[in-house]
């Protein structure tokens, strides 16, 4: 069942845990996420993300997600991850309840102006908006971290002037699995929480240990986006099957799906999410 995203995040904040947001890529990966949510009684954000949109288009990816999830008893949210302007508007039209607008490439003032406009439009339709401030590098990028972290004063101004519902921040994480992991800047998360007042989001949560997840949750992070670890689990399943010789593709996809279910439940456990859904079969 599709549920109100802000209620899930608010309940997570009150309960001292976080919700998980994971990318769908295909029928089988969407099924894995939905099964994991059902099996573990955890709410899950089903993300339509940056990889699947160029692959099949937003509307087909949305239709696929709906087809798999519509009849589920799990608490689910349809969320657009990293949408540029036009894609965010399309997602609102398609009935998403949660979008992440990515204006990070814009100069700060223009990012504020365009994010505020998206928030105004989205809120008219009851859609919540996440934005990202600070740069989150890809795993293979060489970075000078000091210029990547979310600036506390900018975060305060950005949230106050845009009215975003949640804020994704850069505090040492990367998109993907880091070759050279950077410790999370926990005091910075705490300061950003204090000045913005909104629930915070960490992208690139695949590289995080359970201890880091718990430390970040304790200071205001209530949504984690993870993709790489789940993709690797799916891939392991496929490779297991084909390592035995030629097999039907369905057998490989099924094993990929099984391993992704397990990997997703493991993440939900780290987030403190297991059993948090009120709904049962």
Q: Measured from the CB atom, is 79 or 203 closer to Zn ion?
A: 203
Stretch that binds Zn ion, among 52-60, 196-204, 213-221, 266-274 (CB under 5 A): 196-204
What is the distance between the alpha carbons of residues 76 and 1, in angstroms, rounded to a whole number? 6
Q: Which of 81, 102, 165, 229 is catalytic?
A: 81
Please select the residue that binds Zn ion; options are 25, 35, 116, 203, rule is CB under 5 A. 203
What is the residue-wise DSSP string for 176-205?
A: S--SS-----HHHHHHHHHHH-SPEEES-G
CA 143 to chain centroid, in Å, comes to 23
Stretch that binds Zn ion, among 37-45, 47-55, 202-210, 230-238 (CB under 5 A): 202-210
What is the total residue count of the chain? 281
CB of 101 to Zn ion, least distance (A): 12
128 in helix, strand or coil? Answer: strand
Number of residues that bind Zn ion (CB under 5 A): 1
Q: By CB under 5 A, is residue 79 in contact with Zn ion? A: no
Residue, CB closest to Zn ion? 203
* Cα atoms in the 13 Å half-sphere on the side-chain side of 115: 31
Nearer to Zn ion, 116 or 203 (CB): 203
Closest distance to Zn ion from the beta carbon of 182 (Å): 16
Distance CA 257, CA 251 (A): 10
- Smallest separation (angstroms) from Zn ion to the CB of 201: 8
CB of 205 to Zn ion, least distance (A): 10
Q: Alpha-carbon torsion 222, 48, 50, 166, what sign?
A: negative
Nearer to Zn ion, 193 or 203 (CB): 203
Q: Report the DSSP pairing between strands 221-226 and 166-169.
A: unpaired
Catalytic site includes residue 258: no
What are the backbone dihedrals phi and psi of residue 101, each rounded to the nearest 5 degrees, phi first?
Answer: -90, 130
- The catalytic residue positions are 81
Report the interface residues with Zn ion, using CB under 5 A: 203
């Amino acid at each position: 069942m599709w549920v109100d995203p802000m209620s899930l995040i608010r309940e997570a904040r009150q309960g001292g845990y976080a919700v998980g947001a994971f990318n769908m890529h295909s029928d089988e990966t969407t099924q894995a996420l939905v099964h994991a949510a059902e099996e573990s009684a955890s709410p899950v954000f089903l993300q339509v993300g940056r990889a699947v949109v160029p692959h099949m288009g937003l509307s087909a990816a949305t239709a696929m997600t709906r087809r798999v999830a519509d009849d589920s008893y799990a608490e689910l949210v349809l969320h657009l991850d990293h949408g540029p302007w036009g894609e965010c508007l399309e997602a609102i039209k398609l009935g998403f309840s949660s979008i992440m607008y990515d204006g990070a490439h814009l100069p700060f003032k223009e990012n504020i102006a365009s994010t505020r406009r998206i928030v105004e439009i989205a809120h008219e339709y009851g859609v919540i908006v996440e934005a990202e401030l600070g740069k989150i590098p890809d795993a293979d990028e060489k970075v000078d971290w000091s210029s990547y972290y979310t600036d506390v004063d900018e975060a305060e101004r950005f949230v106050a002037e845009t009215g975003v519902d949640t804020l994704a921040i850069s505090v040492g994480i990367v998109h993907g699995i880091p070759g050279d992991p950077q410790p999370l800047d926990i005091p910075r998360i705490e300061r950003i929480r204090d000045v913005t007042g909104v629930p915070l989001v960490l992208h690139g949560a695949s590289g995080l240990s359970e201890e880091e997840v718990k430390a970040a949750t304790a200071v205001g992070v209530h949504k984690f986006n993870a993709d790489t670890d789940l993709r690797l689990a799916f891939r392991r399943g496929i490779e297991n099957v084909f390592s035995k010789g030629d097999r039907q593709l369905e057998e490989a996809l099924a094993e990929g799906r099984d391993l992704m279910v397990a990997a997703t439940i493991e993440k939900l456990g780290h987030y403190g999410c297991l059993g948090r859904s009120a709904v049962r079969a």
